[in-house]
Structure formats: C-alpha cells, structure tokens
Amino acid sequence: MANPIVEMSFLEDDLSSHINKAPEELKMGFLREFSIPERYDVDRFTILPVNPHLIYSYWFTKDSLKEDIKSRFGDFSVCLRLLINNEIIKEVEVKSLEGEYYLHYHAPFQKVKAVLGIVKNGEFIPILYSNEVVMPSDTIFIEEDQHWYDRKSGLVRVMKSDTEYIDEFNKILKENSGVSLKGYHWRR
C-alpha cells in the first residue's frame, strides 16, 4: 500500500507544482537500490567557486592515462596551477592524479581556471584543464526599490528597500537611547 499523501497527489489536477502521475511500480512502493561508484573511468578536472576567496577543485583520470604517465615519466610530482585571466597566479603540489583540493585566493568577479599537470626536472607538463568560472562578488548589492509582482492582480508594486527602514529605525533609536543598528539587516 502506498503512502496516503502520495495517493492523494495522484487525484489532484495536472499543475506543475503537484506530483505527476507515476508508474505503477512507484505507486506500489517499489524502489530500486542504486549504488554510487567509488570512482569513474574518465579524465575530468572541475573547479567550483565557494566564495570570493575559495575554490573547490576535483579531478579524475583514467587508469590508462595514469599508467601511460608513470611509464613515460617515472618519478614526478603532481601540481595544480591557478590561472586568473590566463595568468598563472598560484601553483600548489597535490598528492596524486586523482583527488580534490581547496584553493585559497581572493578574486571577486575574475575569470578563473586551473591546470593539473606533472612536474619533471622543473618542467610543468599539463595533463588536464578545468572549466572556467567567474568568481562571486565580495560586496553586498542593495537596490533602491524592490519590485514585487502580484500574480493574482497582475500588478507590480514598488516598495522601499530595507535600508530605508534601517535608517528610520536607527534615527528613532538614536533619539531615544543613543544606540545604532548600523550594519544589521532589518525585515519588516
């Protein structure tokens, strides 16, 4: 017997916000068990911005590529290069041809990419290139007015921003107690 809430959702209309009609096996509570593989047989290098000063990177290499590199180069070290606007900014030694690393570098609104490579006799040999990302902002954007769309009436309402409420509230606080809430966010 399926969950009563799921059964009720099958009776509802076909709006996109509702659960769509499901195959019979889902109605009967049938769930397959899937396992996530420990590793993938791909050559891939990905970077993801965490905040304006932190980049998460991870990479996979095929077994065939690892064997080829080991047979051709013998002893080598693996390095990760950070490039901002195609200029090498930072180089970090990492442990292997498969792994993850957090890169620390403050670069708001900059185009960032990375290269994974090996270093043999002081020469950097690129192996994998990452995707390119634009780092997030390190400032808070405050819009003067907020525009709210009312779906029922089809009208757009313009409301004053929260900063104006903070300024009014600070003025009242200062007059009464000498305290200010500068820098705090105020919700109405």
Q: Round to whole Å and give the CA distance between 188 and 185.
A: 10
**Selected residue with higher pLDDT from 22 and 59:** 59
3-state secondary structure of 50: strand
Sign of CA dihedral 141, 145, 148, 154: negative
Question: Could you tell me the two tokens for 16?
Answer: 């996109």
Q: What is the pLDDT of residues 119-172, one digit of tens each?
A: 999 999 999 999 999 999 887 766 666 667 777 777 776 666 555 555 665 566
Look at residue 15 and tell me whether its pLDDT is greater than 70.
no
Q: Is 49 exposed, middle or buried (0-12, 13-18, 19+ CB in 10 A)?
A: middle
What confidence score (pLDDT) does residue 132 get? 96
The CATH architecture of the domain made up of 44-134 is Sandwich (2.60)
Per-residue pLDDT at 188 exceeds 50: no
Q: Identify each DSSP E strand in 105-180 by its residue range.
A: 111-120, 123-129, 133-134, 145-150, 155-160
| pLDDT for 119 | 95
Better-scored residue on pLDDT, 34 or 41: 41
- In the chain, what are the domain boundaries? 1-34, 44-134, 140-188
